[in-house]
């Protein structure tokens, strides 16, 4: 336990006790292991990715100094699955604000070289905790870092890349016979945060806007019925607390609770399309643990009930689609922006000038990655990049009504908010204002939603056709 973490955890003991007794089911219903013929092979691994010393923390621009220890470790975890035909894929979850293309692509290239796994078979997800370290090139305009902190972050990011490669290799080296089963629960602490204000759209609590309360659960069990791993998700920002102690927010506490309740199990969290949802209430570490406990209860309720066995057939697909941006400003206009009073505009101008000097122009689009993993005929996991809004999950489920879909956001790289067409038109933080923090000159052009959904459908068809 990092310095200061033990005291914080002790202060939360009462909250744990209270929340453990809440709800219609007690948390941690006893597993009833039952021998089942294994048709899959599964491997699980984890790596502690907690920074070894003080580091600037990601997510809240208001922070003005580095971290002060940790409440609990941050993890990179890997779940490797292989079907009866020998088709293998790996899902990696991380307690981080997000990965960037400059990390995820080299990781996948190294894994392909060492294990022969092509890009379409490796999915990387970040929980988007706002109590993790800054990652190099992720929302870099947000933070006013000096040279020393920039060096620390660069070093950490390189170590992180090594850890991600290692955890994938370790999971693939630990394969054993297993069964997979799928189910869904519900958690209700997320609330839509887009709230109309006099001059447009603000951030608050808006129960009239959509929220995805679904808790998808994938359970991997050994031949004797032991729970080897549980992969679960929820579509909500990990923004319960703005403290200076590193932690995984509600997602981290949910994983801890599940692993404590099921010794020997690895719990992996994968965030959904929750870019326009916040936990409610929020503001204190105790609330993060309370929400984590509630999410753990939901997962455990699913585990305690009969789940849908997943047939041993895995198909994967991966591709990118260009998302056009509004016309870039001239170099002269960027130079004028550098004199703005807003510090974030100043930082953005500096970054854009660097790009002009290096490339001679600013990019007019961004290559958006989409990934599909089809598990038998039971469900398909759709991995969308960026901070993806809930409209994408609802639209895909509606237009692919014959399929059971697990739609995850924050996959592979987190480079911007990904608004739906509705939110892009409304504007506000998620609709375009946040682009400055991610280093873009302006918002996306209309039409991005159809481009993303269209590519998802193509990849779904590709997987359904049977190509591995």
Contacts of 197 (CB under 8 A, 6+ apart): none
The pLDDT value given to residue 427: 95
Residue in 407, 414, 379 with CA at minimum distance from that of residue 391: 407
C-alpha 170/C-alpha 201 separation (Å) is: 46
pLDDT value at residue 9? 44
Looking at residue 135, its pLDDT comes to 96
Q: Is the pLDDT of residue 25 over 60?
A: no
Calculate the CA 266 to chain-centre distance: 17
- For the entire predicted model, the pTM comes to 0.92
Q: Which of 187, 167, 351, 339 is nearest to 257 (CA)?
A: 187
The pLDDT value recorded for residue 34 is: 52
Q: How confident is the model at residue 38 (pLDDT cuts 50, 70, 90)?
A: confident
Give residue 437's pLDDT band: very low, low, confident or very high (50, 70, 90): very high
Q: 159-193, pLDDT tens digit by residue?
A: 999 999 999 999 999 999 999 999 999 999 999 99
CB 311 within 8 A of CB 377: yes
Residue 444 pLDDT more than 60?
yes
Residues in the chain, total? 468
Question: Residue range 23-47: average pLDDT?
Answer: 66
pLDDT value of residue 349: 95
Mean pLDDT of the chain: 92
Residue 430: Cβ within 10 Å count: 22
Is pLDDT at 19 greater than 90 in this prediction?
Answer: no
Residues 129 and 247: beta-carbon distance below 8 Å: yes
Which tokens sit at 22? 């809440």
Task: Grade residue 199 by pLDDT with cuts at 50, 70 and 90.
Answer: confident
Q: Average pLDDT for residues 314-321, to the nearest whole number?
A: 98
List alpha helices for 56-116, DSSP H: 101-115
How crowded is residue 82: how many other Cβ atoms within 10 Å of its Cβ? 19
User: CA 96, 100, 104 angle in degrees (round to 5)?
Assistant: 95
Tens of pLDDT along 227-281?
999 999 999 999 999 999 999 999 999 999 999 999 999 999 999 999 999 999 9
CB atoms within 10 A of CB 161: 17
Predicted confidence (pLDDT) at residue 24 exceeds the cutoff of 70: no
Which residue's entry shows tokens 């995805």? Answer: 212
Higher per-residue confidence, 380 vs 144 = 380
Q: Could you tell me which residues are beta bridge partners of residue 194?
A: 203
CA of 183: how far to CAs of 25, 70, 216, 223, in Å?
17, 33, 6, 19
47: left (phi over 0), alpha (psi -120 to 50) or beta: beta
């Amino acid at each position: 336990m990092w310095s200061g973490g033990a005291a914080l955890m002790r202060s939360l003991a009462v909250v744990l006790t209270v929340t453990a007794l809440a709800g219609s089911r007690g948390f941690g219903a006893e597993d009833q292991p039952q021998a089942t013929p294994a048709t899959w092979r599964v491997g699980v691994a984890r790596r502690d990715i907690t920074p070894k010393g003080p580091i600037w923390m990601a997510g809240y621009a208001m922070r003005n100094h580095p971290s002060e220890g940790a409440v609990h470790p941050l993890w990179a975890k890997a779940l490797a699955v292989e079907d009866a035909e020998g088709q293998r894929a790996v899902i990696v979850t991380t307690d981080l604000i997000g990965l960037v293309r400059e990390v995820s692509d080299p990781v996948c290239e190294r894994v392909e070289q060492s294990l022969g796994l092509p890009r379409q078979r490796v999915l990387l997800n970040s929980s988007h905790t706002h109590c993790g370290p800054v990652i190099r090139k992720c929302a870099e305009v947000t933070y006013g870092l000096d040279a020393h902190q920039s060096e620390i972050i660069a070093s950490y990011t390189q170590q992180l890349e090594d850890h991600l490669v290692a955890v994938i290799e370790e999971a693939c080296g630990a394969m054993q016979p297993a069964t997979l089963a799928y189910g869904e629960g519900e958690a209700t602490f997320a609330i839509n945060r887009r709230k109309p204000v006099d001059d447009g759209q603000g951030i608050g609590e808006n129960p009239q806007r959509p929220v995805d309360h679904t808790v998808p659960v994938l359970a991997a069990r050994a031949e004797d019925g032991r729970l080897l791993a549980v992969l679960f998700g929820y579509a909500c920002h990990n923004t319960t607390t703005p403290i200076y102690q590193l932690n995984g927010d509600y997602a981290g506490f949910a994983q801890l609770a599940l692993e404590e309740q099921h010794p020997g199990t690895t719990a992996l969290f994968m965030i959904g399309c929750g870019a326009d949802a916040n936990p409610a209430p929020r503001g204190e570490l105790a609330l993060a643990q309370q929400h984590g406990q509630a999410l753990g209860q939901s997962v455990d309720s699913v585990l305690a009930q009969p789940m849908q066995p997943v047939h041993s057939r895995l198909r994967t697909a991966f591709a990118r689609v260009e998302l056009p941006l509004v016309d870039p400003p001239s170099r002269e206009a960027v130079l004028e922006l550098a004199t703005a009073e807003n510090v974030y505009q100043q930082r953005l101008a500096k970054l854009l000038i660097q790009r002009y000097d290096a490339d001679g122009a600013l990019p007019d689009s961004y290559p958006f990655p989409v990934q599909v993993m089809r598990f038998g005929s039971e469900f398909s996991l759709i991995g969308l990049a960026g901070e993806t809004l809930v409209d994408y999950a609802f639209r895909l489920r509606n237009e692919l009504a014959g399929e059971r879909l697990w739609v995850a956001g924050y996959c592979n790289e987190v480079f911007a908010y990904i608004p739906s067409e509705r939110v892009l038109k409304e504007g506000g933080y998620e609709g375009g204002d946040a682009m400055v923090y991610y280093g873009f000159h302006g918002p996306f052009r209309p039409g991005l939603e159809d481009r993303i959904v269209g590519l998802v459908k193509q990849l779904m068809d590709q997987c359904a056709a049977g190509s591995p």
